[in-house]
Amino acid sequence: MPNYEELPECQLLSPPLLVPPLSATPNLVLYLSNLDDHRFIRFSVKYLFLFRAPSPPEVPAIRSSLSSLLVHYHPLAGRLRRSPADDAKLEIVCSGEGALFSEGFMDISADAFLRAAKSPNRSWRQLLYRIPGHDFLSTPPLVIQATHLNCGGMLLCVGMNHCVCDGIGSAQFLRAWAEMCRHPDAPLSVQPCWGREALRPRLPLKIQFPHPEFAQPDPDPCPEDRPPAAAAEPLVPVSITFGADRILQLKRLCMPLLKCTSFEVLAAHVWRCWARAMARKTVKLLFTADVRSRLDPPLPAGYYGNGFVLACAECNPEVLGHESICGAVKAVQSAKAAALSDAHVRSVVDLLEERRPMVDLGSSLVVTQWSRLGLERVDFGTGLPAHVGPISSEVHCIFLPVVGQPEAVTILVSMPESRAHKFECYLRDLADKEVEGPLGVIPNYQLTPVRS
């Protein structure tokens, strides 16, 4: 059974309130691009920061700076709605209603929370207030909860609607918020830009690429290509940190045949381990590719909307299971190169306009990278966070930053319970040597229990 470290009950200190922009903002309706509102990202991204005592951010200061910042980021103070012209499209009504802010207390210390931080679970959901009976559209795009700890520290959880901001845009907002809290009278170092019209579909639509990242109709599905029964099991989190030395070890496995980035080699390694643990015969790796600078013309500085497409790497089982990691790395590099062109991005936008396909999650591992967003440098004037992460690990594989180790990356993946131990074993081993063990074929090294 999973050994969850349940958090104690969070007690709200007062009813949640709305924080509106400090001054009047434009009253208008804003267009969302097809990269903003397709079904794959109709959810909120939930960031969690831990600030230690004795000097966590003060709630009045972060609330007043938030109000000031919403003058510049006024769409986040508005509300999503379905377009009257097209029920499948979403748009933002800049109503100035404000962000939802709540304040609570939890009887736990920062140290105790850090011990549990490798294993987010359902008890963490109470760290971000949820309006009873409200769905995705009726929930404010920006929801914040400050939870005081018994040691004097604070958990700050921020939920941001993915249709309004991608990871880079969210990080831009969070850094600006901290900047305004530190220097209330100074101008923002990065001026926000809406600019979604730059990603309107072409007329006529022109779909130039096959786009394997989206599910394709399968008239004759083969049983072995379907997700295994294990996919219906309870999911448990697996969390492993790769320091700079371990990442270098992975890169050396590719030398001298090819050079690769830390992301490319880590993504390839996680992909191979996931495929082996899940015993998948049809395997894709989907990962976000930032296209801001690759469009013609490039998206403007300060653009905080969704400026990414999903790159799709594919390998046949023989290449993915080969003893060398090089084949998987090459597939990641090829997928990234294919995604990073203006023509490819425009083709994605047009495809989403034509038929709004679903992302192929049935046979895919999805990797999203938080480790290079600068979240660990968000400082409200009282010091850097001691921990940065999500409040859930139930959707994708997330690459997380490690506070104090700029070159390190923490891998957080949720796995079916029966596959989690094997997956962690594969992740930890870098030599591709296998032996028979009680769980079947597993890497030859000292096994450690999975924390879930």
Evaluate whether 331 touches 224 at the Cβ level (below 8 Å): no
Class of residue 336 by CB neighbours under 10 A (exposed 0-12, middle 13-18, buried 19+): middle
Question: If we measure between CA atoms, which residue out of 281, 254, 288, 257 comes closest to residue 269?
Answer: 254
Q: How many residues does the chain have?
A: 452
Give the active site residues.
Answer: 162, 379
**Measuring CA to CA, which residue among 261, 229, 359 is closest to residue 269?**
261
Structural element, H or E, at residue 178: helix 167-182
Which H/E stretch holds residue 268? helix 262-278
Separation of alpha carbons 244 and 433, rounded Å? 22
Q: What's the distance, CA 42 to chain centroid?
A: 13
Q: What is the DSSP letter of 222?
A: -
Cα three-residue angle 7-9-13, rounded to 5 degrees: 130
Q: Taking Cα atoms as reference points, which of 267, 269, 286 lies closest to residue 363?
A: 286
**Distance between CA atoms of 166 and 369, rounded to whole angstroms?**
11
